[in-house]
Structure 1
Amino acid sequence: MPDISSRVQESRVPRQPGGAALVSYVLPVFNEQDGIRHFHEELVAALGERPEFTYELVYVNDGSSDGTPGILEDIAKNDRRVRVVDFARNFGHQMAITAGIDEARGDAVIVMDTDLQDPPAVSLRLIDAWRDGAEIVHARRRSRQDTFFKRATAHAYYRLLRSSTDVDIPLDTGDFRLMDRRAADELRRFRERSRFVRGMVASIGFRQSEVRFDRDERFAGETKYPLRKMARLAIDGLTGFSTAPLRMITKLG
């Protein structure tokens, strides 16, 4: 991994030994000034339904060039559960997830996007599955509000990846998932530069389950994963978890 220059706003929530379980949310953010306040309000409302847990919310600002940093700073001032990690520049979604997991201190760690395509209420179902004994809980998309092209290419890619690797990477899942503390610590041992986090999580074992949900439309702004970035992530997945490209190159040679 590169040496990421960042600023971390320290949590003001002391962990109470023997107290309620702490659930950490890792929340990568890039140029979300139009929707980040609304996302935070929705998340806070969802967490209010489960007061038996304590929470920390780790927002990772991935070098946003709009008003996002100032908004996150204001959110942190008004919610003592919030921590903010600021990247000096844009390092990408997978690095933002990695940095957030490195900072998270909870008994369980939930990774989710902040554009409300991952509904905060669904994260409570991930917690329920964790309390029932699962150590990794994947949020699997039952449906998604995207263009036909994106739905079709994602559907084909996940099945191609699964058919060409020995790692059982769950179908139709992004990075929205929960990891138990043990699983998160194991994932932190992976320090590759070109990262495909969902493949890494699938490869580490532990008791894994899934929760199905309907993925909503983006609340505001534009997608932060255009075709070029999606292609790069797909290549990282194929080269990192499949021997098919190597076999193809060997045959061509």
Structure 2
Amino acid sequence: MTLISILIPALNEEDNVSTAYERVKAVFADLPGHEFELIFTDNHSTDRTFDILTGIARSDPRVRVIRFSRNVGYQRSVLTAYRAASGDCAIQLDCDMQDPPELIPLMLAKWREGHQVVYGVRRSLPDGPVVAAARRLFYALITWMSEDDLPRNAGEFRLTDRRILDELRGIEDHSPYVRGLISGMGFSQVGFEYDRQARTAGTSKFPFRAMLSLAIDGMINHSLLPLRIASFISLAVGLLTFVLMAGYLFGRLIFGQDWPAGFATTTVLLLMSITLNAMFMGILGEYVGRIFMQAKDLHRPIVEASLNFGGAEEVAAPRAARRVARSVQAAE
């Protein structure tokens, strides 16, 4: 029997959580040989979302719920869900059902072909023309800037193999960009096109400010290009300074320009000091950028409550570590 983990982050989605549960359950009713666990991560909703999830979890032990003590942000909420998944693979869905769960069989078929990641490529978007254009511009920009192979027009709708789930368990990142983390791991990754649906109910909990923050995280977490731009600018300023210095000296020595006493010397020294500072700051920035990519702030979201887990410690403990502990106990 193959166990599939379905990961659904939720924030004030009281109108959608029951629909999401019913639609996922209906899909797996037609998938013989498959079991599912449905992991909701409640990002400290202030409406009835957690109460509804509590009722669902009490009636169906396959539904597992993680509620955070505060809003930890979409990406950290999602990363926690990936860490808590115990299935042979995990599939992330949006609670508003814009990514239709009816495509799960297609994703599983591609997974069985040997692909460790199967992601949906948005052929069309229900957003307005301005938001849709902004999304596509971001995808193009992050693809150009990043050293990782980030797929264009691919969102959070993806299947991830157990091997990658275990790798995600060992990642500590205060500002994760999960899409980039998974893409950067490599393995065999394949996409499929689909039409994104409109929300089943409610309004988007991902405003422009959140999208902008996600874009900044994506560009900074997976590219040193901003630092390199700073280095290139410093070199350009240095070249300009050299030209100005040559001009001052040429004018003084060849044409005998009567500059005010100390003017040329002060100007040259000032420009030289600015140039050296800019160049060295650029060099330091390159090293700081590599340190930043290697070791980031270590902060875990706090789990306020968990349903159908063994406890909050089971949510946080790496699966591999639990396996090792069981092996040691068995050996003893």
Q: TM-score, normalised by structure 1?
A: 0.90
The alignment status of 1:217 with 2:198, answered yes or no, reads yes
Instruction: State the alpha-carbon separation in 1 of the partners of residues 209 and 19 from structure 2.
Output: 28
Alpha-carbon distance, 1:249 to partner: 2.6
Deviation string, structure 1 residues 123-177 (Cα, Å, up to 9, x no partner): 2211111111111111111111111111101111111111122211011111111
1:29-68 equivalent positions in 2, closer than 5 A: 29-68=10-49
Q: 2-side partners of 1:80 and 1:74: how far apart?
A: 11
Of the candidates 147, 159, 181, which is equivalent to residue 200 of structure 1? Answer: 181
**Whole-Å Cα distance in 2 between the matches of residues 25 and 227 of structure 1?**
27
Aligned runs of 1:158-177 on 2, under 5 Å?
Answer: 158-177=139-158
- Measured after TM superposition, the shift of residue 31 of structure 1 is 0.4
Which residue, out of 85, 91, 107, partners 2:72? Answer: 91
Q: Name the amino acid aligned to 2:161.
A: D
Does residue 138 (structure 1) correspond to residue 119 (structure 2)? The answer is yes
Q: Which has the larger radius of gyration?
A: 2
1:248 deviation in Å?
Answer: 2.2
1:115 alignment partner in structure 2: 96
Q: In 2, distance between residues paired with 1:123 and 1:248?
A: 42
Q: 2:222 aligns with which of 241, 244, 247?
A: 241
Query: The residue matched to 2:221 in structure 1 has which SS?
Result: helix
Aligned partner letter, 2:111: W
- Confirm or deny that 1:156 pairs with 2:137: yes
After TM superposition, the structure 1 = structure 2 runs for residues 69-80 of structure 1, keeping only pairs within 5 Å, are 69-80=50-61
Q: Tell me if structure 2 keeps the 8 A contact 1:27–1:114.
A: yes
Tell me the CA shift for residue 89 of structure 1.
1.1
Instruction: Kindly report the root-mean-square deviation, in angstroms, between the aligned alpha carbons of the 2 structures.
Output: 1.1
What is the percentage of aligned positions where both structures have the same residue?
37
Asked if 1 retains the 8 angstrom alpha-carbon contact of 2:28 and 2:35, the reply is no
Between Structure 1 and Structure 2, how many residues are aligned? 234
CA contact (8 A) 1:187 1:204 kept: no
Q: Is the 8 A contact 1:60 1:84 kept in 2?
A: yes
Give the gaps of 5 or more residues in structure 1.
1-19
Kindly indicate whether the alpha-carbon contact (under 8 Å) linking 1:125 and 1:211 is maintained by their aligned counterparts in 2.
Answer: no
SS in 1 for 2:22: helix
CA shift at 1:229, angstroms? Answer: 0.5
Task: Kindly indicate whether the alpha-carbon contact (under 8 Å) linking 2:83 and 2:168 is maintained by their aligned counterparts in 1.
Answer: no
Counterpart of 1:132, as a letter, is: E
Q: CA deviation at 1:193?
A: 0.7
CA deviation digits over 1:188-230, x for unaligned, max 9?
2221111111011000011111121110011111111101010
Mapped partners of 1:76, 1:111: distance in 2: 19
Instruction: Find the counterpart in structure 1 of residue 171 from structure 2.
Output: 190
Cα distance in 2 between the residues matched to 1:22 and 1:139: 21
Residue type of the partner of 1:233?
L
Q: CA deviation at 1:39?
A: 1.6
- TM superposition score normalised by structure 2: 0.69
Is the 8 Å Cα contact of residues 22 and 53 (structure 1) preserved in structure 2? yes
Structure 1 distance, partners of 2:168, 2:184, is 9
Q: Distance in 2 between matches of 1:149 and 1:122?
A: 27
Counterpart check, 1:106 vs 2:79: no
Higher helix share: 2
Cα distance between partner residues in 2 of 1:72 and 1:124:
25
Q: Does 1:25 align with 2:3?
A: no
Q: Flag structure 2 segments of 5+ consecutive residues without an equivalent.
A: 235-277, 279-332
Contact kept? 1:134, 1:208, Cα under 8 Å: yes
Does the 8 Å CA contact 2:148/2:180 hold for their aligned counterparts?
A: yes
The alignment partner of 2:98 has SS state of: coil
Partner of 1:3: none
- CA displacement at 1:56 relative to structure 2: 0.6
